[in-house]
């Protein structure tokens, strides 16, 4: 059992990683590969085998009712609905779903048909997340995204008309040549769309990506720190001004339409991940699967679970993880919750750090809880690092 879940409240989240994309975006370092359509059938077969093997080896994990199912990627809608149905049936065979289970799928605008979206909705998917990134066509081409802004607008509206009422879109800021006016123009478009969730993040230059190659060759220049700061403010303040609640450092929702699956990560709850590159956190152990498709298939071909990393979490590390994950959320760390989870007092463990972050005006102390203020949120990585002892 994870530290903060009692037997009565323990439930489960399930993540399925589908590592296929139509084309690779220049900034992406996820396990996501283009040109592997020939492997789709084998991959689904292997994924189902992984679920079967896991459930046979860890049968007690199947007794936790499933609260969230999340198909992420990659681009899960690269698979056909029949593929996805096979996976869902296998999950339903092993696990019990809660009546209000949140079932999410990621999709790229312009890559799915009306029939596919409608089939997913009929299958029980009740939340969809579109990788929009920006409504600027030139930036989309630069990022090597497959869609246009018009396709994004049309597909979001189509999903809503089909019956998806929980719709997320991802937005990037700090793009090369982007201006504050561009961000404002993007948010003006967002304001016309029937969505209730936004995830936003600054463009990162990850090692080994084509973007990194361009930056190293000095073929493009990214916004300097001051401009990036202004863009951050424009994006965060602009989204809140549209009536979205910032419930996590990079996530915003209307009417509490939170991503319950992602909340599990931040609330230090269990989740099982299946698929190449998927991660799990179960019984205090973090596991990470082989991120490459062929080795993943080969391992399952030999009836071997594809976990490459197995990281039992010490109590000390669990407390640190708990704190900085909780700090990502609007509720922050609560002294009583911390005590319930670990049987020790938060201030005995982290009092010096917390007091100094409050003094530096990065954390707010509020009746036994500590949460980031807007300055702390902007410097989140610094704050989180202070909790690593
Ligand atoms: S669509 Fe998403 S997962 Fe696929 S390459 Fe682009 S950023 Fe990566």
Which residue from 20, 75, 275 has its CB within 8 A of the most atoms of ligand 1, so it is best to mutate? 75
> What does the block give as tokens for 251?
């996530």
| 6 has pLDDT over 70 | no
Predicted model pTM: 0.94
Please report whether residue 181 resides in a domain: yes
> What does the block give as tokens for 99?
């009546």
| 225 has pLDDT over 50 | yes
The residue out of 208, 240, 266 marking a domain boundary is 266
The protein residue whose alpha carbon is closest to atom 7 in ligand 1 is: 28
Lowest mean pLDDT segment, chosen from 67-81, 290-304, 309-323: 309-323
Question: Greater confidence, 4 or 181?
Answer: 181
Which residue from 28, 79, 169 has its CB within 8 A of the most atoms of ligand 1, so it is best to mutate? 28
Question: How much is the pLDDT for 9?
Answer: 63
Please report whether residue 367 resides in a domain: yes
| 144 has pLDDT over 80 | yes
Provide the mean pLDDT of the chain: 95
| 8 has pLDDT over 80 | no
Q: Which atom in ligand 1 lies closest to the alpha carbon of residue 23?
A: 5
Q: Which atom in ligand 1 lies closest to the alpha carbon of residue 106?
A: 2
CA–CA gap between residue 114 and residue 24 (Å, rounded): 24
* Domain co-membership, 193 together with 335: no
Name the pairing type of β-strands 20-21 and 279-282.
Answer: unpaired
* Domain co-membership, 262 together with 319: no
> What does the block give as tokens for 275?
């698929």
Q: Which domain CATH number covers 182?
A: 3.20.20.70
CA–CA gap between residue 46 and residue 51 (Å, rounded): 9
Q: Which residues line ligand 1 (CB under 6 A)?
A: 21, 24-25, 28, 30, 32, 73-75, 108, 131
CA–CA gap between residue 256 and residue 311 (Å, rounded): 33
pLDDT, tens digit (0-9, with 9 covering 90-100), for 190-219: 999 999 999 999 999 999 999 999 999 988
Name the pairing type of β-strands 197-202 and 166-173.
Answer: parallel
Percent of the chain whose pLDDT exceeds 70? 98
Residue among 272, 262, 291, 266 at smallest CA distance from 129: 262
Q: Which domain CATH number covers 377?
A: 1.10.10.920
| 344 has pLDDT over 60 | yes
Please report whether residue 282 resides in a domain: no
Confidence of residue 311 (pLDDT cuts 50, 70, 90): confident
Please report whether residue 351 resides in a domain: yes
Please report whether residue 156 resides in a domain: yes
Domain enclosing residue 319, as ranges: 315-385
* Domain co-membership, 184 together with 248: yes
């Amino acid at each position: 059992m994870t530290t903060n879940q009692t037997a009565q409240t323990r439930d489960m989240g399930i993540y399925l990683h589908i590592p296929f994309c139509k084309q690779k975006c220049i900034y992406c370092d996820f396990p996501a590969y283009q040109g592997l359509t020939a492997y789709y059938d084998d991959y689904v077969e292997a994924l189902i085998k992984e679920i079967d093997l896991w459930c046979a080896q860890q049968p007690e994990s199947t007794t936790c009712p499933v609260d969230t199912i999340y198909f992420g990627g990659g681009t899960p809608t690269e698979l056909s609905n029949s593929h996805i149905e096979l996976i869902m049936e296998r999950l339903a065979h092993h696990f019990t779903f809660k009546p209000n289970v949140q079932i999410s799928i990621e999709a790229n605008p312009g890559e799915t048909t009306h029939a596919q979206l409608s089939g997913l909705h009929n299958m029980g998917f009740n939340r969809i997340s579109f990788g929009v990134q920006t409504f600027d066509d030139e930036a989309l081409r630069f990022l090597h995204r497959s869609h246009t802004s018009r396709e994004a607008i049309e597909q979001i509206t189509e999903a809503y008309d089909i019956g998806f009422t929980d719709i997320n879109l991802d937005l990037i800021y700090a793009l090369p040549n982007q201006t504050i006016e561009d961000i404002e123009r993007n948010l003006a478009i967002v304001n016309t769309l029937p969505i209730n969730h936004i995830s936003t993040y600054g463009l990162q230059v990850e090692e080994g990506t084509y973007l990194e190659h361009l930056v190293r060759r000095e073929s493009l220049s990214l916004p300097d720190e001051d401009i990036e700061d202004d863009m951050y403010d424009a994006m965060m303040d602009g989204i809140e001004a549209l009536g979205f609640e910032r419930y996590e450092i990079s996530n915003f929702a209307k009417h509490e339409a939170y991503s319950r699956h992602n909340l599990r990560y931040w609330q230090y709850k269990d989740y099982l991940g299946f698929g190449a590159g998927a991660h799990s956190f179960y019984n205090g152990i973090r596991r990470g699967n082989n991120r490459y498709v062929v080795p993943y298939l080969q391992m399952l071909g030999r009836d071997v679970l594809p976990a490459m990393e197995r990281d039992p979490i010490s109590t000390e590390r669990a407390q640190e993880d708990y704190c900085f994950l909780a700090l990502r959320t609007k509720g922050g760390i609560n002294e009583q919750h911390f005590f319930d989870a670990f049987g020790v007092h938060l201030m005995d463990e982290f009092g010096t750090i917390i007091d100094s972050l409050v003094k530096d005006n990065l954390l707010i102390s509020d009746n036994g809880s500590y949460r980031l203020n807007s300055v702390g949120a902007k410097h989140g990585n610094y704050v989180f690092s202070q909790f690593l002892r």
